[in-house]
Structure 1
């Protein structure tokens, strides 16, 4: 059996991965998406081909013979986008770390080297596979040389395979005649001009008939159609140039030793560390962790297994200004603690014998009176250690979130890499696999103690650099005055939870089921047959084929039945109205009626988790379950709020900010008209309509006010004329005119928003009123859509983020005031600009006053903050 060599066109595959897959950046801000995509394609091809040899060819940046010819004809080639260019040395570094042979050569392009190696290898009796996104390489296909061309669409990659036979079958010409085709039709991607007016169809016909451009030119008077004849007559020199540009040199003087290209184990320690640094977590599972030499510090880790040792350890810790702490726990139990006294002195104390979970938690509470506990996640510690706002704590996770709010998670190994001079630590998965803390404890996993030590070490060692960075970025006040106090506020909300009437929730679900069944029957009757309404494919066929409803958009998988498409058709088609209602009710049933029932705890309350390190703008999110997404648009959705009730003897007080983001916009932009309107307590949307549509204030119609409201809020979110046209069902031109008139009405807003975008481009980030930063790397993207998104982010984030900061300040103050005044009332829920207080009936007046004072006083703007407050026996009534 012949040996096989796999040859890869480095730039071509990197380029394809760059344009075919979403861009990624790591925590260092490096673009890595193309490298990640390249590696995924490489691993797939290796699994399929199982080659004996592997080589990747790259272009050099210096001009080649073909470059010079092209530039002499048409000027310089289009430059590579900077986000892609910076990934070329990166992929070469990764391949080198894997022991993969790479080649490049001055004066020659990568496809010349591929052609040379392919023909040499074929002569040596090898099977050859070339992987490239460049169809020019089809000219190299033979019975022994296969060209594989990947195509990436919507994140999925498929690959076409070509030996000589398949080239002839698909293109009607032999592989060498691919050069002739390119000479006539050109290829803009490869900077081959071709001749004007000749496309693929005509070029194929000519080469099938005449074999080459030279022969076609010799029989010029016979060439048809006339347009092709005249083009070949007038531009024959261009066809000859194009042929030269398209011809791959298969005899370049490349020095190459096959043994250097023999495929070895790619999963080297060097490659592992590099993939970790690039944050390719999904690829790390390919490495055998046992064989990877990780940077470890286990010589500095110790286990303390007796009570006298633990006592001495806590006594020693109390004399330190800072200690790192990792509490090994889940929601129910404590399994041990990791304590870092110094960077070279880290201990694990398992919860065993007299060193119970309660003992360890009590000791940590005492320790926090004198020493700063540095933790990756203070809120998780609060579940067991009854710390107070006066306890000394440092939350590493919140610090790194403020410094880079674009990441989705903040693991200890990521923190070490970023803030401890690139130190590479083993990951949680390396140490515990996929086991939970409880499961690792039950297995007596040695990795559990090591894990606790690494986390405690990282929390202690990174505190200094993180604190320094927070000062340098002027976010220390945001950290100390908003985010750290918020940990305690949110923990209190999670502990209290919110009471739910389980029976009423069940009854609500039953009512939904009845209506869902009614709708199902109606839809089947209207369609004339029974089908699966939840199947987009079946639904598309029924609506757009069987019923012949116009307006269907066909995709590769069938007709799209997305909500935006159906909503446009609903006014004229009763069946579509019913389908939309069916979908809404089915979601209500599964997500809320059934979903909430499953998470009611024995105390008859739901205890959601409130996250403060998830959103890039600083907003709080709610998970397990998400109580911030309870439907409000349709009455049946709003009714679910009736099942949320206070304890006996309590009522709900609900207070929400009135138009907080518009008020923030007025303040930050300094627009006198908008500020004056708020000061005079005018109806902002009516006033905007009056100004934009040039009608007296009292004559504004409801439709004009609704449109003005959409513009007002749309401006806050950086809406485009296209977005506004979709929202209001008007033309893009009309929407653009609305926006233009809006900026004429409030001239300083346009200048303010433009300044935000300019600042974002210059600094790489934008800031809220209080200094919270939001990086906007998209502003420097070479991709128009990404840049446009970046501009919207730059306009919106300072406004939405400032509103989020104000609400957090209000939450902290309301929570603290109620504690200080010894009230039994408690804050149980926050939904963006709304606070829900479970209020003891005797404390209604006091709590109302606290809400009024603290919410209005959370920030001092040039326009007053206003709140709407309501009382009710359930959340529905209070809202």
Structure 2
């Protein structure tokens, strides 16, 4: 293909707008107001088109929508698409604004009466192909595959599919030239176009390969045997019309859209109308897009002179990386002085990046960062595994638009000579470890580990843009690329563009220094600019500021926990693996005996055949395809009455335990420490809870004896013990605090067993008269209501009738009216403002709280009730973690925190400090906050984690 070949991109707008509508949450101009105009599809459409424009370079661009009213196909076949539901009102109201914004984004919009969007796309695609233009069609509609030729390709960005000549045949079994014949045979249920009864894709492909075309097949219909042959012959009169309905037109009259211009010139890709876009985004409440559009407007106003300066600045930085002044905040140039102040303030449009190769340039950089009030630091490394990653290079940014990169260990043929890493780090160490020199990063916990691997304990990480985003906009992505695009209107270099993907991916030290410098400088520069946008929003809000400082302190504590790691008894795990393996084999043999035949216990298909065909077990529910389900819920229900499902369930549980933990934990221990060092992800759960991975220490099953035994392999070093401290009934105490229910407050204030107290209230007996079964029921009710459990769910948990469960709930709310009032008021608050808050002010957004989709809305309502309790519990354990760590540091204790698991803190304790830990840790945890009920923390000590419970 010649490099000057032009490209036409055609977007199936009707497909896009439906996808956007169903993929996006229920956004509104006024968040939380169901009467306010819906905007989700508009926002989704903008996102999809912006990404497509970024990913596909094109000279011509058309977005095609279906026109209102009937088409020629309705005249041919009145039942065409007759079963389709009408467009939802909330989507219909967004169609005109979508057309408007698509035009403002630079696309030609076409809607042609009497035909469908596919026909317009077909006409434009063939027009382009005949002129030798490369045509890219973006759609998820398989019907468009019939258009594919040597110049036309269909891409489905949602499913990452590319349908070119080879792709169509690989997917459907026939080339594009036979796709209409193929579709006519199998029919199109979506458009209500019948095919040949009982003929599916396999038969259609077989026939077309054997006869070469539908016409040839029809001519030989008498030779086709069996029922399918009879069905084919019975459909011969219909097939021509079916094929006509399914054939995309390629000759639509588009003259009204050509404006008298030749061919496709009227569809040239236009520049975005940034000023008009800003007005549009303001009208529909897209604040992030307003900032993005404003940045684009400013860049446009800079004009060609500034663009020349930008190109010149970047080329100077790469061609002569030691040019003085590029990073120096005080430097100026004659060219720069010609720009107005407003343009200079918009730093994202002019960048000055340099690469440090000499000590002279390094000294100048060091002087700059030492004098700066805040510096963004970014590490480039050899690995994502924080405990083994080593530094390849470092970048720093002390001023928006300015950054410098120090390459240190790049290793590829003809790589330039770099400054020695040991000496560079030695000279940087005083600044990095200076508690008076404020630093900034994106995910600073990772960078702290990397520096620690080189013997540097960085101090004064004052800010983390990932955590700023997490606190301010928890429901959005927190990666730097997303933050820069959302808040700066900037896109950057992708890591995979530098290093490749999969097996062909190279390590960062093999990346050319010029490219690495641009990439790393961009990261530190964008981090500083994102901070300048996000921090003022947090700083002015006292509650958000409190939560942000909590997260920053937690990052420090978690870094310490991860660094400490937990000692693993490898031989004990190996012994457990052997025992589990033997038990798993026995369960397999037992299951085969019960089934009276061997089968794969991991195969849903084989299990289904044995359960429902051979043994005649009852069908509990079905899969979307209509087959009887054998999922976990079904197995649990069947296991109540039948031994085989119980054996399979146990086999699955033990196999997972063996594969995930007993086989792998010891392998994950770091050789130099003998310990497992998990990674705690802060910016994941919307409630503020942590997640643990590599390995996940929070999901070890503890309801079974085998699961609890795994915790026995988490041991203390010589002369030490394990301590485990957690809060007692923390979420119920938070419910009492939030609801201010008098009965709950009294129960906790008096030190009663709250489940026993609830049972006494619900069953109308004294505390002393409460039976074990009544307490169990009350416990299920207490925790079930926190998680929004319905009467149906409660009935299933207790094994009782739904009516009886509903009566329990009614009685509960009669006895605890404050809880009912809290739940009702919380739902109303969530609906009005779109989020709820923890006791400490963490915001928990609920995008679906006013969704027209009933199940989504109900799920959001349940989350609205539960999230403040889960979130407050997460805040409390973080406050405890930080307070305990501060106390350990202040008293220079030998006790080390080694895990945080949900509401539990785990420690490795010198035996000499055991008494201190037993008394002081619960005291610290109970005093981190004052609620309307007392906090109670309990602690246990033992030789391993299990024995400490």
Q: By how many angstroms is 1:621 displaced?
A: 1.1
Deviates more, 1:344-353 or 1:836-845: 344-353
Provide Cα deviations, 1:746-796, integer angstroms capped at 9, x if missing partner: 111121122222222222211111111111111132211111111112111
Deviation at 1:708, TM superposition (A): 1.6
Q: SS of 1:415's equivalent?
A: helix
Alignment partners' CA distance in 1, 2:466 and 2:840: 20
Give the match for residue 337 of structure 2: none
Matched residue SS, 2:601: coil
Where in structure 2 are the equivalents of 1:141-152 lying within 5 Å?
none
Cross-structure match for 2:564: 496
Q: CA deviation at 1:834?
A: 0.7
- RMSD of aligned C-alpha atoms? 5.1
Alpha-carbon distance change, 635 to 312 in structure 1, aligned in 2, over 3 angstroms: same
The 1-side partners of 2:508 and 2:459 are apart by: 34
Cα distance, 1:114 vs structure 2:
7.4
1: distance between equivalents of 2:603 and 2:118? 47
Separation in 2 of the partners of 1:361 and 1:825?
31
Q: Greater shift after overlay, 551-560 or 321-330?
A: 551-560
CA gap 1:268/1:872 in 2 versus in 1, 3 angstroms: farther
Report the equivalent of 1:862.
Answer: 932
For residue 102 of structure 1, what is the aligned residue in structure 2? 109
Residue of structure 1 in register with 2:297 after alignment: none
Q: SS of 1:859's equivalent?
A: coil
| Post-superposition offset of 1:550 | 1.3
Query: Partners in 2 of 1:416 and 1:685 — Cα distance?
Result: 49
- Aligned counterpart, 2:403: 346
Where does residue 724 of structure 2 map in the other structure? 654
How far apart, CA to CA, are the structure 2 residues paired with 1:830 and 1:98?
51
- The alignment partner of 1:877 has SS state of coil
Q: 1:540-689 to 2 correspondence within 5 Å?
A: 540-555=608-623, 556=625, 558-602=627-671, 603-689=673-759
Corresponding residue to 1:319 among 371, 374, 378 = 371
> What's the offset of the Cα at 1:731?
3.6
Aligned partner of 1:538 among 600, 606, 624: 606
| 2:493 aligns with one of 422, 426, 449 | 426
Determine helix, strand or coil for the equivalent of 2:396.
strand
Deviation at 1:334, TM superposition (A): 1.2
| Correspondence for 1:779 | 849
Number of the residue aligned with 1:381: 447
Q: 1:416 aligns with which of 470, 478, 484?
A: 484
Distance 2:140 2:892 in 1: 70
Aligned position for 1:230: none
Q: Which whole-Å CA distance do the structure 2 matches of 1:729 and 1:819 have between them?
A: 51
Alpha-carbon deviations, 1:82-120, whole Å to 9, x = none? 467547745775688685x53237xx5875x87899999
Partner SS state of residue 777, structure 1: coil
Q: Distance in 1 between matches of 2:809 and 2:184?
A: 54
In structure 1, the residue matched to 2:775 is: 705
Deviations 1:516-535 (A, max 9, x none): 00100000011011111111
Aligned 8 A contact 2:635 2:649 in 1: yes
Q: Superposed, which structure 2 residues align to 1:797-836 within 5 Å?
A: 797-836=867-906
Asked whether the 8 Å contact 1:554–1:560 carries over to 2, the reply is yes
Q: Which runs of 5+ in 2 are unaligned?
A: 1-7, 32-38, 72-84, 131-136, 144-153, 164-170, 196-233, 238-248, 275-280, 282-287, 290-306, 318-351, 410-417
Q: Deviations over 1:522-580 (max 9, x none)?
A: 00011011111111111111111111111253432843211111111112111111111
Can you list the C-alpha shifts for 1:203-225, whole angstroms capped at 9, x where unaligned?
xxxxx9xx9xxxxxxxxxxxxxx
Q: Deviations over 1:288-341 (max 9, x none)?
A: xxxxx9998845000111223213321221111111111223433111210112
Superposed CA deviations along residues 108-160 of structure 1, whole A, max 9, x for unmatched, are 5875x87899999999x99xxx99999xx9xxxxxxxxxx9x9x99x9x9999
Alpha-carbon distance in 1 for matches of 2:532, 2:49: 36
**Structure 1 Cα separation of the partners of residues 851 and 479 of structure 2:** 27
Structure 2 SS opposite 1:572: coil
Query: What's the TM-score, normalizing by structure 2?
Result: 0.69
Q: Determine whether 1:841 maps to 2:911.
A: yes
Distance in 1 (alpha carbons) for counterparts of 2:269 and 2:852:
33
Give the paired residue count. 755
User: Is 1:717–2:787 an aligned residue pair?
Assistant: yes
What's the counterpart of residue 358 of structure 2?
A: 306
**C-alpha distance in structure 2 between counterparts of 1:116 and 1:303, whole Å:** 51
Secondary structure at the aligned position of 1:551 is classed as: coil
Structure-2 change in CA distance of 1:562 and 1:260 (3 Å) = farther
Deviates more, 1:494-503 or 1:692-701: 692-701
Superposition deviation, residue 856 in structure 1: 0.3
Given candidates 397, 421, 440, the residue that maps to 1:356 is 421
Contact 1:54 1:263 in 2 (8 A): no
709-718 vs 90-99, greater mean Cα deviation: 90-99
CA distance in 2, matches of 1:10, 1:837: 57
Show the counterpart of 1:71.
none
Match among 9, 13, 17 for residue 14 of structure 1: 17
Q: Secondary structure at the match of 2:598?
A: coil
Q: Could you tell me whether the CA contact under 8 Å between 1:336 and 1:360 is conserved in 2?
A: no
- How far did residue 449 of structure 1 move? 1.6
- Measured after TM superposition, the shift of residue 357 of structure 1 is 4.9
Q: Is 1:333 paired with 2:353?
A: no
CA contact 1:375–1:395 (8 Å) conserved in 2: yes
Say whether the 8 Å CA contact 2:353–2:518 is kept in structure 1: yes
1:174-222 CA distance string (max 9 Å, x none): 99999xxxxxxxxxxxxxxxxxxxxxxxxxxxxx9xx9xxxxxxxxxxx
Counterpart Cα distance in 1 of 2:138 and 2:693? 44
> 1:419, CA displacement in angstroms?
2.8
Moved more, 470-479 or 681-690: 470-479
State how far apart, in whole Å, the 2-side matches of 1:79 and 1:526 are.
52
Q: Is the 8 A contact 1:432 1:440 kept in 2?
A: yes
Per-residue displacement from partner, 1:579-606 (whole Å, max 9, x unpaired)? 1110100000101111213201212210
Contact 1:467 1:476 in 2 (8 A): no
User: For residues 764 and 120 of structure 1, do their structure 2 counterparts lie closer, same or farther at Cα, with a shift above 3 Å needed?
Assistant: closer
Which residue of structure 2 lines up, in the alignment, with residue 507 of structure 1?
A: 575
What SS is found at the alignment partner of 1:798? helix
> How far is the alpha carbon of 1:801 from its aligned partner?
0.5
Number of the residue aligned with 1:289: none
Residues 1:252 and 1:445: Cα distance change in structure 2 (over 3 Å): closer
Q: Following TM superposition, by how much is the alpha carbon of 1:614 offset from its aligned partner in structure 2, in angstroms?
A: 1.1
- Out of 592, 597, 611, the residue aligned to residue 529 of structure 1 is 597
Residues 568 and 360 of structure 1: is their aligned pair in 2 closer, same or farther, counting only changes over 3 Å?
same
Q: In structure 2, how many angstroms separate the alpha carbons of the residues matched to 1:119 and 1:455?
A: 44
Does the CA contact (< 8 Å) of 2:567 and 2:715 recur in 1?
A: yes
Displacement of 1:410 in angstroms is: 2.3
Which whole-Å CA distance do the structure 1 matches of 2:755 and 2:192 have between them? 67
SS at match of 1:383: helix
Aligned to 2:830: 760
Say if 1:816 and 1:166 are closer, same or farther in 2 by CA, change over 3 A.
closer
> Aligned equivalents of 1:676 and 1:57: distance in 2?
65
Q: 1:82 to 1:721 in 2, by over 3 A?
A: same
Distance 1:559 1:267 in 2: 54
SS across alignment from 1:652: strand
Contact 1:83–1:782 (8 Å) recurs in 2: no
Q: 1-side partners of 2:193 and 2:895: how far apart?
A: 83
> Per-residue CA shift, 1:44-92, capped at 9, x if unaligned?
xx9xxxxx9996543679999xxxxxxxxxxxx9774546754774577
SS in 2 for 1:385: helix
